[in-house]
Structure 1
Amino acid sequence: MLDQGDKEERSLQTPEMVSDLEMKMNMTKVAPDSGSYLSVVNQFMQKKGVVGEMEEKLAFAEEKVWGWGTAASVAAGQSMLWECGAEEAGEYLQAVDDIQKLIESLESLSITSDQEGTDILQRADSVLQTAMVRLEEEFSYMLVQSRQPLELELSSFRSSEGYVTEEDFSGCFDDDSIDDSQVKLEGIANKFDEFTVDLINPSVIQNLKCIADLMIQSDHDLECCQAYSSIRRDALDEGLFILGIQKLSIEEVEKMEWEILDSYIKKWIRAIKIFVRVLLASEKRLCNQIFGELSSLGNICFVDTAKGAMLQLLNFGDAIAIGRRSPEKLFGILGMHDVLQDLLTDIETLFSEENGSSVSVEAHEVLLRLGESVRGTFMEFENAIERNVSSTPFARGGIHPLTKYVMNYIKTLTAFKDALDLLLEIKEGGHESPTVSSSTTASPEGSNGSFSKNLSPTVHNLLEVVSMLESNLDMRSRLYRDDALQHFFLMNNIHYMVQKVKSSDLCLLGEDWIRRHNRKVQVHATNYERASWNTVLAWLKDDGIGSGGSKAVKERLKGFNFSFEEIYKNQTSWIVPDPGLREDLQISISLKVVQGYRTFTGRLGSYLDGTRSADKYMKYTAEDLETLLLDLFEGSPRSLNSQRGRR
């Protein structure tokens, strides 16, 4: 036991001195065994040497780390580490690496069981934590400061053209400009497929990778990932903003005016392709460059960064899919369906890991709901045609706005034929077969046309729509009291339909359809001429003239003049918009009327020779009639002077 003096002396010794003293006493106890004694001495001396060396290394690294401090020193005006040059940054990283190795050595060597080893380890841990905070700040700062301007990067993509929509079906149908609309769709331009851009300055990527490696090695991978995701999420949100996309709830989408919603749909179609094929592909590449292609952390960071923005885009698609169905939305929904279908493989690849699978699943579900919305909206388009009725005949017998709208609508739909073939169904036992002529519409074939089962779903459904339109027009034609105007109206509208089919992708309806409807136009034109001009031509027959002499001739000419002038006054206000059809009709009428008049006056005009009233009955020459007939169907009402025609 220690006496009182020994105790006093012991109380003045430091813990290190006490530890050394105890070791010496232990060595004294084992002195009889000289081999054991020397072994313990050697262990002691080695331990003292290792500890001293580690403490020296720690002091050097500690000085380097504490010299730069953390955010407080930055706030005080100290520059960021990497702004001071590669050499300074390299020394800092080396110091952090030395601390990591020092901790590993301390933990691997059994020298932390005593107080001295524990103190060194705690000091090293404290310095490492400070260094990690500093490196996280440097990592975040570098990500922010090195961001490339997305406005510049995306400028070459934002001009990509979208689809062209028609006017609101629920409104008026009289927009003539609809005829000149050009379908510019067939998907968004693919010029940026597989295209990546530098989201940050390439010169800093290696520095970011070095920081990430150190943080991961120090079990600070979560902090590193959070720092990356926080910064890059903001960057992707900025990208969506530049592309014209904003966060909208389903309720906000439903309340949008159609013009605004239509514009937003176009932006969305452009934006989602650029976002997935350019921004997300570039983001994925950046994650791989910083965290390594085979690193699961890189995928975790990517999903955490991109998931929110991707779901924001998909949520808008979902809002459109489940919203109110109206015909004007069909082109937008088809455009959205087309682009999402095209991007599905890209989305599955980007979000292939388990933590991103929910994004892929949501993309699939939104695509299915958009497809269902296409079917429902197409059905609503058909219903709108059948509901569009009137009790008033269309003025002047021209092309009804409904005809223009429907034909231009289905013409635009042909750009989506592939998608429609997958989405639409062939209806059995639905509307009357498209090859059957509508009710009273004359057809050389009668009503025995047969429907080909080899037609694609798109063609089948378009033929159904055309048949509905014909039925609607047939009902409208019956609103006219004048039989001639009934046929005139149907001739105009069916001719317009044929020309639309012949001059566009609607030719997929088939040559047979075109031939049958050309015949319908001819039949209606013939029936119009008979209903209008047979009464005029009847006055030019010479039956029974011989016994009546000049009186009979005068009566015939008087009746002819009256009938001709009545038709002229009425039918100059009628309109045939197509110049070719108008000219054909004028020539056909002229051949019958002028030739009949010339023959009649040539054979019987002598009955009026020598009479003072000859000009009263022979008001027109054949040339006058030819000229007057050119005034027909211009849509401008005219009347003739009661005394004399134009010579």
Structure 2
Amino acid sequence: MPRKGMRSLCFSPRTPSFSTSRQSTTSESTASSTNRRRFSESMIEQTIDAAATIIMKWDADTSAYAKVTSLFYESKREALQFIRSVNELQKTMHLLVSDQGSRSEKLVRAQILMQTAMKRLQKEFYQILSMNRAHLDPESVSTRSSRTSARSSTSDFDDDDEIRTAGDSISEIEEVSSMAMSDLKLIADCMIASGYAKECMHIYKIIRKSIIDEGIYKLGIEKLSSSQVNKMDWDVLDLKIKNWLEAEKISMRTLFTGERILCDQVFATSDLIKESCFTEISKEAAILLFGFPELVAKTKKNSPEKMFRVLDMYSAISEDWKEIETIFSFESTSTVRLQALDSLVRLSESVRSLLMDFESTIQKDSSKTMIPGGGLHPLTISSMNYLTLLADYSNILTDIISDWPPPAKSTLPASFLFSPDSEDSTAPAISVRFAWLILVLLCKLDGKAKHYKDVSLSYLFLANNLQHVISRVRTSNLQYILGEEWITKHEAKQRSYIVPDSKLREEIKVSIGTKLVTLYRDFYNTHISTVGDERGARLFVRFSPEDIGNYFSDLFYGTVSSGSSSTSSSVSSHHRRQMLRSPLGV
């Protein structure tokens, strides 16, 4: 078929019947579109009218009733209707903007109504936040679940009216708190969807930041400079540290935790708004809180108690580190995490410095006082008190000195080099450090023993002081740090000490025997009459005063089994200061 013929067949003029049909269809379509538009316009007008009815009812500028009454407290049903009307109005405004054929008067009216509605919702949002400060305080929010858990664990058979009343009261508080949070979220969602997020955030930030700032202030956290801290007497600074330890605990358990929970729930629909609000509300207070330990760590205060306060602060932050990362997880709150981390680093540096000062203090002790009778030296007592207290922080110290280089090889006598020492690569760093500090103490005592003119008395001095060291290790957490091998080796040094001078040995024997026998004879003479005649005495009395004297006759002529003295190592925190107030000024 010729190409022209094909073209003629395919593109021939429409038949009359087909043309008539198309004209009819077009006419019907136009009519249908007109009807839909009329119906749509009618629905728009109805939506605007319905919204106007409830919005204007609660316009505080035109209604005295609305000015003094809260919508959400007066009628929750009507409050929900108000929110639905605003949401419908917002959808209608989108239709009016997108429909080029719409009449602008409707859009203008809808915009005016929306502004009036937002003004009302701002007022409601502010009122709920303000009137529920007690129910929305961080403590109430953060502990609601724990309260519920605690109440549910109470016995169902408990008939105590007081407990039941308290439980009812807690339930009421929780209910009010939950309702307030629900209302806040409802309003926030509506305002954000309507393009009024900025106004909503502004109100929330002002009120909630005032609560956080007030809470931090009441906890005693204040802005201090490094120079102010350095000028404080230790007693004043010590009091502030104790206060900070309590404040940190409360802040992390309630203040910041509660605020994060509340913020997350109210602005659940927007991560950006949630982050912005929480950051602006809590960032300043949190940096203030976690900045204080860094100031303390930098001070040059030289108090025996400082080491333990620094360790307490390090422990508080490290124990709450997971919570710090969770609560301040936003990128915009990274400065809070960095501040807490900086404080940990500074505190750990301070601990290391104080340990070096402690070692230096032992080495520099220049007292030449000879203890009568070869007894305990004050340096031994104070040093072991200090080390015993430090041992109670072994977990924290393990973290702090885990990467601290071991002590440098020393020129100390080889007899004092015991495991674990600096050459034992398998020993934990904390064991090496504590063993080294005791080694320094024992070497210092060895030098002080040389001040005794009588060699035997110098050995007795060393024996007494070494026995005290071993006893404190054996009865404290030092035993777990140093290990059984350390204790065994040093106990073997107690048994190796003897009194080689015969005259001194005889004098010691006579002195001990005289004191003990005299006391026993007085006791014997006082109570012998109570047992009756001679036959009764043989039944109830095993040793006479003469027997006791005979037992001591060969006391120092054979191998003497080592005694074991015990001293208490469990020192409560309120005795710490008294223990540390000694000639060892570290």
TM-score by length of 1: 0.61
What are structure 1's unaligned runs of at least 5 residues?
1-33, 158-196, 439-444, 538-563, 573-588, 597-647
Structure 2 counterparts to residues 169-568 of structure 1, below 5 A = 201-240=177-216, 245-292=221-268, 295-324=271-300, 326=302, 328-394=305-371, 397-424=374-401, 425-432=404-411, 436-437=415-416, 452-507=424-479, 508-524=481-497, 526=499, 530=502, 532-534=504-506
Amino acid aligned to 1:505: N
For 2:369 and 2:62, the matched residues in 1 are separated by 86
Deviation for aligned residue 1:315:
0.3
Q: CA deviation at 1:293?
A: 7.1
Q: Compare relative contact order (CA 8 Å, sep 6+) and give the higher one, 1 or 2.
A: 2
2:137–2:211 CA contact under 8 A, matched in 1: no
1:127 corresponds, among 104, 116, 119, to 116
Q: Please state how far the C-alpha of 1:45 moved relative to its aligned partner.
A: 7.5
Aligned CA distance change for structure 1 residues 434 and 450 (closer, same or farther; 3 Å): farther
Match of 1:141 among 113, 123, 130: 130
**Residue of structure 2 equivalent to 1:175:** none
Letter in 1 for 2:264: N
* 1:415-443 Cα distance to aligned partner (Å, 9 max, x none): 333443343224353445697339xxxxx
How far the C-alpha of 1:200 sits from its partner, in A, is: 7.6
Q: In structure 1, how many angstroms separate the alpha carbons of the residues matched to 2:129 and 2:114? A: 22
* Unaligned 5+ runs, structure 2: 1-26, 147-172, 519-547, 556-586
Q: Distance in 1 between matches of 2:65 and 2:89?
A: 21
Is the deviation greater in 310-319 or in 335-344?
A: 335-344
Q: 1:61 touches 1:99 (CA, 8 Å); kept in 2?
A: no
Q: Cα offset for 1:209? A: 1.1
Which residue type is aligned with residue 415 of structure 2? V
Letter in 1 for 2:227: E
1:33-67 deviations in whole A, cap 9, x for unaligned? Answer: x99x9999989978985785466345424422314
Contact 2:229 2:237 in 1 (8 A): yes
What is the rounded CA distance, in whole Å, between the counterparts of 1:412 and 1:465 in structure 2? Answer: 14
- Taking every aligned residue pair, what percent have the same amino acid on both sides? 28
Give the conservation status (yes or no) of the 8 Å contact 2:259–2:278. Answer: yes
For 1:66-81, what aligned pairs fall within 5 Å after superposition? 66-67=59-60, 78-81=68-71
Instruction: Give 1:378's aligned amino acid.
Output: L
Indicate the larger mover: 242-251 or 78-87.
242-251
Cα distance, 1:207 vs structure 2? 0.9
CA shift, 1:216, in A, is: 0.9
Q: What letter matches 2:493 in structure 1?
A: K
Distance 1:434 1:276, change over 3 A: farther
Aligned-partner Cα distance in 1 for 2:552–2:130: 91
Distance of aligned partners of 1:434 and 1:125 in 2 relative to their CA distance in 1, 3 Å threshold: farther
Asked whether the 8 Å contact 1:237–1:309 carries over to 2, the reply is yes
Is contact 1:435–1:450 with CA below 8 Å preserved after alignment?
A: no
Amino acid at match of 2:237: L
- Whether contact under 8 Å (2:221, 2:244) holds in the other structure is yes
Highest Rg: 1 or 2?
1
Structure 1 CA distance for aligned equivalents of residues 206 and 129 of structure 2 = 9
Cα deviation code 1:529-565 (max 9, x no counterpart): 746235799xxxxxxxxxxxxxxxxxxxxxxxxxx79
Tell me the amino acid that sits aligned with residue 256 of structure 1: M
CA contact (8 A) 1:386 1:472 kept: yes
Which moved further from structure 2: 317-326 or 235-244?
Answer: 235-244
- Aligned residue pair count: 466
Provide closer, same or farther for how the CA distance between residues 199 and 456 of structure 1 changes in structure 2, counting only shifts above 3 A. farther
Any conservation in 2 of the 1:229–1:304 contact (CA below 8 Å)? Answer: yes
Q: Which amino acid aligns with 1:332?
A: R
Q: CA deviation at 1:219?
A: 1.9
Range moving further from structure 2, 468-477 or 98-107 = 98-107
Q: Is the 8 A contact 1:139 1:227 kept in 2?
A: no
Q: Which residue of 1 aligns with 2:578?
A: none
Kindly tell me: are residues 132 and 593 of structure 1, through their superposed partners in 2, closer, same or farther at Cα, counting changes over 3 Å? closer
Match of 1:60 among 35, 45, 53: 53
Q: Distance in 1 between matches of 2:37 and 2:291?
A: 69
Report the Cα offset of residue 458 of structure 1.
0.8
Structure-2 separation of matches of 1:60 and 1:376: 74
Is residue 81–residue 138 contact of structure 1 (8 Å, CA) maintained in 2?
no
CA apart distance, 1:100: 2.9
Kept in 2, the 8 Å contact 1:150–1:239? The answer is no
On the 8 A contact 1:236/1:309 being kept in 2, the answer is yes
Structure 1 position 213, deviation (Å) = 0.8
Structure 1 match to 2:563? none
Match of 1:96 among 73, 76, 86: 86
Query: 1:244 deviation in Å?
Result: 5.2
SS state at 1:299 partner = helix
Aligned equivalents of 1:506, 1:376: Cα separation in 2: 21
> Residue 169 of structure 2 corresponds to which residue in structure 1?
none
**1:149 to partner: Cα distance:** 8.4
| Cα root mean square deviation, aligned | 4.5
What amino acid is the match of 1:373? S
Give the Cα separation in 1 of the matches to 2:31 and 2:227.
Answer: 85
Matching residue's letter, 1:249? S
CA contact 1:112–1:121 (8 Å) conserved in 2: no
Alignment CA distance shift 1:450-1:592 (3 Å): farther
Distance 2:508 2:87 in 1: 109
Q: Is the Cα–Cα contact under 8 Å of residues 487 and 524 in structure 1 kept in the other structure?
A: yes
